[in-house]
Amino acid sequence: DTGVSQDPRHKITKRGQNVTFRCDPISEHNRLYWYRQTLGQGPEFLTYFQNEAQLEKSRLLSDRFSAERPKGSFSTLEIQRTEQGDSAMYLCASAAAAPDNEQFFGPGTRLTVL
Amino acid sequence: KQEVTQIPAALSVPEGENLVLNCSFTDSAIYNLQWFRQDPGKGLTSLLLIQSSQREQTSGRLNASLDKSSGRSTLYIAASQPGDSATYLCAVRMDSNYQLIWGAGTKLIIKP
């Protein structure tokens, strides 16, 4: 399967701990997105990369959140000093260059902060 | 600020019926619109993408339409099946922005 993959699929952590998630996009896609989704809501945009450059970052992303895409392939999303409000599904998507920019999503990482 | 609304939030219909899901948006200057399906606890599967210059797209039993001027899109599902049960979300991409702006979804239940 050459779709978008995310690891881990589930993460349970205690408040105050740091967590890191990984996303591997479709190999020929140069665009990568992170979203967060809480129960019963649509996803909320967090950040966007084109190749290794982080081009956009939501104001929702506090200083405790950081994302990287060092070689323009996989990406990591780190949350420091987790809070209960960080509990959500974290979704990664990738897309090829324009014109369609159709986004393809991974299965998500479900984070539970106790 | 773009806002995307999906009504109803939930819909239950008998198997075999044709149905329409609605998506509305406040700013008509969209680049494209995508419809997604999400199964419980799972990621999102792209169903159809409509460019701003297009009026509709079809894939199998699914047909999505777009009316930019009225800020509306519909997803038509023909001959519904229990396997169609899922949450359906629409999302728009604006001209000058790369992110998708999402509706909250319609939870669809198809009763056997």
DSSP line for A40-103: TS--EEEEEEETTEEEEE-TT--TTEEEE-TTSS-EEEEESS--GGG-EEEEEEEE-STTT---
Interval A36-57: pLDDT, tens: 999 888 999 999 999 999 988 8
Average pLDDT over chain A, rounded to an integer? 92
Q: Please judge whether A56 and B49 are an interchain contact, meaning their C-beta atoms are less than 8 angstroms apart.
A: no
Residue showing tokens 């806002």: B3
Taking the CA atoms of residue A65, residue A53, residue A57 and residue A73 in that order, the dihedral angle to the nearest 10 degrees is -60
- Determine contact, residues A110/A11, Cβ cutoff 8 Å: yes
State the pLDDT at residue A39.
87
Interval B30-83: pLDDT, tens: 999 999 999 987 889 999 999 999 999 999 999 999 999 999 999 999 999 999
Residue A21 CA, distance from chain mean position: 7
Q: Please judge whether B44 and A91 are an interchain contact, meaning their C-beta atoms are less than 8 angstroms apart.
A: yes
B16: left (phi over 0), alpha (psi -120 to 50) or beta: left
State the pLDDT at residue A1.
54
φ and ψ of A85, to 5 deg:
-70, -10
Distance from CA of B43 to the nearest CA of A (A): 4
- Set of chain A residues whose Cβ sits within 8 Å of the Cβ of B49: 100, 102
